[in-house]
Each structure stands twice: as C-alpha cells, then as structure tokens.
Structure 1
C-alpha cells in the first residue's frame, strides 16, 4: 500500500499545480488535491527526504508562520484574520508537502503546462470577444481583462515563472527539448504584451539585465549590462522630463494612465497614513482591522463614485510588506524581511533562485499576494525552490556559474 501511495503522491502534487489557474472553474479540486496530499504525506515521507530542504531556512519560515498564528490568537483577531493566515499556511504547506517528491523537474513542467493552458483559454476568450464586439482594445482594457482566465497580475506572475522555469530547464549545449522551452518562453512573452501587464514586462527586463552578472564571460556581460543601464537611464530621463506642466511626458502618461495605477496610488497613500497614525506598533492591528482603517481613509476621497467603489470593494494595501507592517506589526514585518534576506544570502550565487526571489519581492511590492489563494500557491512554488538543497537532478540544468 505504501508503495502505491508513494507512486501516486507526486502526480497528485503535479496535478495541483496544473489546476491552480482554473480555480474559478474547479474551485473544489485544488482543495481536494491538497487534502489528499496532507492525508498521504505521513505514510510515505522518510527521514532522508528532509535532507532536500535547508533546515535553517525552513525554521525561519515556520517561525514566521507561527508568529502570525500566535499573534492573532493573543490579539483576539484569529477568527477574523484566519482567512489570510490560512493562505500563508498554504504556501508553507506546499513546501513541506514537497518533501517526499523526488523529481522537481516534473513540478517545473507542471508550471509550464499550466501557463500554456491558461494562455490558450484566455486567447480563445479574447478571439471570441473580438468577433462579437465592434469596439475592442487590447492591453489595458476592461474587456480583455474580463476575457482572461484569472486576474491579469497573477497570469503575469504565472508567465514569468513559466519563462524562468523554461530557461532553467534548457541544456547548455544543443538539445532537441531546448526548442520547446524556447518556444514556451516566446509564447509567454508575446502573451504578456497582448494583455499589457507592465509589471511582468518590466520585471523580465530587470531579470534579463541581472542575468549578465551570472555565468562565464563576465568581461563581455558586465559591459553589456552597463550599456543597457545607461540606455534605459537615458530613456527614462528623457521620457519623464516634462516639456511643460500642461503636457506630461510619454513615460509619465504610460505609467499613470493605467487602470491599476490610480488604485494602487490611493491604497498605498491610505496604507502609509494608517501606518503613521498607528506609530511603531510591535504586534499590529490585524488584517481585518487594517482593511477597516483603509475604508475609513477611503471615505475622504473627493470623487464620490471613486469613493463608493473603494469603500464597497474594501481594497487592501496592495503592498505585502506594508500590509504585514500594519497588520502584524514591526515584529511580523521584520520576520518576513529576515526570511527574504536569509533566502538571498543562501541563494545569491545562483541565478534561477535569485530571479524567483526577486520576482517574489516585486509582486509583494504591488500586491498583497497572501490575500489570494492563487498568489499563495505561486509563492509556495517559489519557496520550494528557495529552501531546497537540491532542486533538480545533476547535469539537468544550465550552467549558471
């Protein structure tokens, strides 16, 4: 029986990652698969399996989650805040449930398959819309956002993960499979342009520049990096320079004239006001109470239609670091920051894990990733890579120097 469970377990784990983008359509399935993994885990895990993960890193991660749980219990906000804490538990749980899985490359391929499936689903919906609507605009359009499988930001996150995974699976020398990974990278990049997710595209540019610091031929790579930075710096300087106060620059218009910029600028401002009003709070006010304070701040918005939208939807801070600071206090913020720092120190010499870590930080800067179950799943995948001692089989990755 144990042999059978050990054989089935990895495939259930893989299926979980494949179904994540389709949670709105098969909402119960990921939870069922997660429940199966939890039940089977103690029957198949072996002592040697725990060598796959870095003990110090997993302890920091568990300590951070433990603090969230205990702090909420002592503050009397556990009942209200458990829905958020539960999502942090999903990310931590995915790391622990990974322990009996031997082939991490299969999990990577599950990410690739799920991104392709999500793209196909979204593109089909977009094609249907273009054929039924006369006035259709690509990019930052409510119609295209409505056609997507899940929120644009999380589709962008999935595509970034899929691109990085494909790159990590490519062999250093010619191999027939490389063409498939390259094709997947191209498809995902084109899709990011199609849906107009600027966060993902800017992140990819930064990760491309970061890649020049890794690997061999640094005498060539570093001058290329410096040249790219100089060109980008010049473009940004020229782009953000105003001809006059009445005529904003092209880049300023590009940044501010988006559907999400106005939302985030408002939530960030209210988040900072809430943080300043609370002062230095060691244990925070709780996730639910933080939303209440934000809603009170939104009441001061002059535009009545905008005020009603913000208060009805109870928008969160859209910054995970700020959310942890206000909701769990200085202690929670520091523990999360210590975790990020420890992960960077441990993995700084390898491009793939550092690229994933920076992706995590980037999305935490613009989104409360632990407020959505899909966000918790993808953060869990990133954490698996970061806390693993041995991510992939020997001689099956690119030479990252």
Structure 2
C-alpha cells in the first residue's frame, strides 16, 4: 500500500487546463493508461479500453482537422504491414484463421496513425509506464495468491479439495511439495510469462532512466526482478544480460560502472540459480544424436521448430503461405519431419521474424524490420534504444504478434519510440 501511495500522487489524470489539450485527447490518454494497468491481467480485460482509446484518438484527429503528416512518415510501415497481411488472404485457404489474426492486428493499422496526430509530453508517457507498473504489482499479488493456494492444496502431487495441511503436511512442507507453482508458467496464470516478462523489462528500463524517489526505486527494482525470476523466461534473462552489458559499457562515471558490474555479477549468479534456467543447457544437449523427437524437451523443440520454419521459407520465400495457412503448413511439416513432440503441441514458429516470413514472405518481413532498423539508427545513443532491444529480441524468441496483448503493446511502444521525447533523452 505504501508503494501505491508514493506512486499515485505523481500520476494525476489529465485535465483541460492546457489549452492544447482537448476532451478527445484527454480521454484517449486516460483510456490508454487504464488499458496499460489491465494489460497484465489477460487479453479480454484491457481490450474495451484499447477500443475506446482508438475511438477517442480518431475523434482527436477529426477535431484538430490537421491531416498533414509532417514527420515520422516511416511510422506508416506498421499500417502497411497490416495491409500486406490482408493481401495474403488472397492466397490462403484457411480464411477464418487469417481473418481472426487480422482482427487482433487492427492495432497496427490504428495506433500508428493516431500517434502521428496526437501530442504527448514526458508526464503522459510516464503515466503510461506507472500504470503498467501498478498493474504488474497487482497481477503479481494475484498470481502469488493463486500459487499459494495451489501449493497448499497438493496431496501427493495431486490437487485436492482438502488442503495439504489436512493431509498431513505442515504449512511450510506444503509449499515445498507444491514448489513448482512458484516458478515459470505455473506462477503466471493470468497471462503467458513471455508477455509479462516483456512488460517487466520495458518498465525496468524506463525507470532506470526516469528515476523515482530513491527508496521507492529500490523497491520497484527488487519487485520487478523478483517477478522476472519467478516467471523464469529464458529469453527475458538473455535480454536482461544484453541490456546490463550495454549499460555497463555506456556508463560514463567510473564509480557507477564498477557498481553496475558488481550488481550484474550478483544478478547473474542469482538468476542462474533459477532451476528452469540452470537446466537450460542440459536440456539442449543430445539433439544431434536423437533418432526420434517424441520426447524432445521444450528447448530442443524450439530449435526443431526453427529448422522446420526455415525449410518452409526456402520453398516460398517471396510471398509466403498467407496468414491463414502459415501455422497449418508448419504443423504438417512437423509431421513430415517426424517432429512428434512439436506436432502434438501444434507449435507456431516461436520466432516472429520466421512467423512473418511464413505468412507474407520476404515482403512482409522487410516491412516488419524497417522500423527497427530506422529506430536503431536514430536511438543508438538514447535510452529508447534499450526498449527497442527488448522488443526486437523478444520477437526473436516468441511469435509475439500472434496474440492481441503482444500486438497492441508493440504497436503502441513502437509508435511512442518515434516521438521526440525518446530522441531527446540520453542513456546515462
């Protein structure tokens, strides 16, 4: 509660005192803040507020009557990406699947256009991240309650209506027997850990640059790293290592650099103690000597998925297989290659760049990658570059743009990264 009291006074709702603001713009930002707060709770809960934000955003455009695009025209690559996905429906058989993906991807069409005409300042952007932070805190508490309940409810490894205390375990023993509920996907019942991990990393980077009160900032960092530890996302840990190394090399103050190196080593030792991370290499071993893939580990299955995706890309490199057929073609390829585990799990590419290549070929892939290249050049000396790294590397390890929560977050974050606010803030 003290954390919330210290944060909330710094997050006043926008009002109409600023003559440059109008009601539509105020409602747009407020709906966006509420949606960011709810983002960690699943897909359906924040969706109505994102829809309202789109409505008010276009209302702001119509009210301002300023239809000239003076800067950041490259932002239109995101709507163009949506259009290319729509065109691919012309050569896909599974129209229903393709249409559903397009419906989830409408954020790529709407939000970039809205942000071209919407004014922002440091307060508005900070409010977005603070609401996302508070949402992460509440979702953490909810997940903690669920994990604790499931842990206590275990008897001999099986969920039961009776508690494990009644079954003979002590209170502490019940957590020991149900410890798996406090790690990885079992701890994140509201939303897939990969998406929550991206939110955590982005918030972490933002508040490295935009400092809170000192004690509060320490508490926030401890909370975010603890949440990340329990989610046990291997890709998130890899991204965190890359960010840490980048910050160390860019630190201008020698004393600060030594402190960061010490924190990095300590953090690396702590994160490597995570059981899901410590077994990562051992679970990869033996792939080259396997004569069947019925019992492949999740790590091995990911490599097999990438291999199957690349084989398919070579057969249709220009336009791909369409947004409706890409997953079906990949699953059939698993069957042809006897990747039994992958076939049973019905995996997608687990890499958005490969997924896009399968859906729309080199055309869609090029349109997806251009904004990243442009922003990398523009932001290379700004802290926004670290957020860009998080977005880019997370796309390499998951098909993040297959679900609404990933699509809307990427559409908004990439749009914000084009704003002058990020260009004018140095890393350290």
Residue 275 (structure 1) aligned with residue 317 (structure 2): no
Q: TM-score, normalised by structure 2?
A: 0.73
Aligned residue in 2 for 1:400: 427
CA contact (8 A) 1:108 1:165 kept: yes
* Mapping of residues 88-167 of structure 1, within 5 Å: 88-98=105-115, 99-102=118-121, 103-134=124-155, 135=157, 136-138=178-180, 144-145=186-187, 148-167=189-208
* Mapping of residues 258-297 of structure 1, within 5 Å: 260-278=298-316, 281-297=317-333
Structure 1 residues 293 and 25, CA gap change in structure 2 (3 angstroms): closer
* Mapping of residues 2-401 of structure 1, within 5 Å: 3-24=22-43, 26=45, 29-30=48-49, 32-38=51-57, 40-45=59-64, 47=66, 54-69=71-86, 71-72=87-88, 75=91, 79-80=95-96, 81-98=98-115, 99-102=118-121, 103-134=124-155, 135=157, 136-138=178-180, 144-145=186-187, 148-170=189-211, 177-217=213-253, 221=257, 252-253=281-282, 260-278=298-316, 281-300=317-336, 302=338, 306=341, 309-310=344-345, 314-351=346-383, 353-391=384-422, 400-401=427-428
Q: Point out where structure 1 has 5 or more consecutive residues left out of the alignment.
A: 172-176, 237-248
1:265-321 deviations in whole A, cap 9, x for unaligned?
23212212211233xx322221222112112112246576x36623xxx32111111
CA distance in 2, matches of 1:271, 1:334: 17
CA distance in 2, matches of 1:108, 1:48: 29
Count of residues in correspondence between the two structures: 364
CA distance in 1, matches of 2:35, 2:22: 21
CA distance in 2, matches of 1:157, 1:258: 26
Structure 1 residues 201 and 258, CA gap change in structure 2 (3 angstroms): farther
CA distance in 1, matches of 2:385, 2:185: 35
Task: Give the structure, 1 or 2, with the largest relative contact order (CA under 8 Å, sep 6 or more).
Answer: 1
CA distance in 2, matches of 1:128, 1:343: 45
1:128-179 deviations in whole A, cap 9, x for unaligned?
112212442337968725x5221111111121122112212116xxxxx233
CA contact (8 A) 1:46 1:100 kept: no
CA contact (8 A) 2:322 2:358 kept: yes
Q: CA RMSD in A?
A: 3.8
Counterpart secondary structure, 1:329: helix
